[in-house]
């Protein structure tokens, strides 16, 4: 009977690495801030776009709308973001970081970029090929929201 070695199975390895990187990524914000992954994604997305709606956050960060809703609420409770009603379409709200939120964002981002840099450094001369291959994978498996985020 044909067998499969799980530890060599590509989907398993991808998930395992993704989870391990996410786990190590906690060292970026863990020591100073208490953030969940969805909250980090929302923070990063608002920080990137200045002002954005919850729907757009979900689309850009591949998160289910309920997850976005809860993360937004959590950040709002911490006074890291504020909602501004959109009078042109009162179904949606514009979200923006507060001064406090911007300061947190400003502290986390450099560490995140440094963290990423260390990963790339570990890849050495294979970094370029790896990143190019990632893009092919992203293209091959595009579409749909992505449940069960680890990071």
Chain contacts with a copy of itself (rule: CB under 8 A): 1-7, 9-25, 41, 44-45, 47-48, 60-62, 102, 105-106, 109-110, 112-113, 115-116, 119-120, 122-124, 126-127, 129-130, 132-134, 136-138, 140-144, 146-151
Tally of CB atoms within 10 A around 129: 10
Is 150 within 8 Å of 18 (Cβ atoms)? yes
The 3-state DSSP composition of the chain as helix, strand, coil percent (nearest 5) reads 65, 10, 25
Cα→Cα distances 66→4, 27, 42, 102, Å = 37, 27, 12, 24
Pick between residue 80 and residue 105 the one whose CB is nearest to a copy of itself. Answer: 105
Q: How near is the Cβ of 15 to DNA at its closest, in Å?
A: 12
Q: 34 contacts which partner out of a copy of itself, DNA, none, CB within 5 to 8 A by kind? A: none
Q: 46 contacts which partner out of a copy of itself, DNA, none, CB within 5 to 8 A by kind? A: none
The piece of 6-14, 83-91, 112-120, 123-131 that touches DNA (CB under 7 A) is 83-91
Torsion sign (Cα): 40, 117, 113, 44: negative
What is the SS3 assignment for 109?
helix
For position 64 contacting DNA by CB under 7 A, the verdict is yes
Site residues (vs DNA, CB under 7 A): 36-38, 53-56, 63-70, 72-73, 88-93, 145, 147-149
């Amino acid at each position: 009977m044909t067998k499969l070695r799980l530890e060599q199975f590509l989907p398993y390895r991808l998930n395992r690495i993704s989870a391990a990187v996410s786990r190590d990524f906690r060292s970026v914000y863990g020591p100073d801030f208490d953030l969940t992954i969805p909250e980090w994604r929302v923070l990063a997305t608002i920080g990137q776009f200045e002002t954005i709606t919850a729907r757009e956050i979900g689309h850009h960060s591949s998160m289910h709308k309920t997850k976005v809703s809860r993360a937004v609420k959590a950040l709002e409770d911490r006074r890291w973001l504020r909602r501004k009603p959109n009078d042109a379409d009162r179904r949606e709200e514009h979200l923006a970081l507060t001064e406090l939120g911007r300061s947190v964002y400003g502290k986390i981002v450099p560490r995140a970029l440094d963290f990423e840099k260390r990963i790339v450094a570990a890849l050495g001369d294979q970094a370029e090929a790896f990143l190019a291959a990632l893009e092919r994978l992203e293209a091959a498996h595009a579409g749909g929201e992505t449940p069960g985020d680890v990071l």
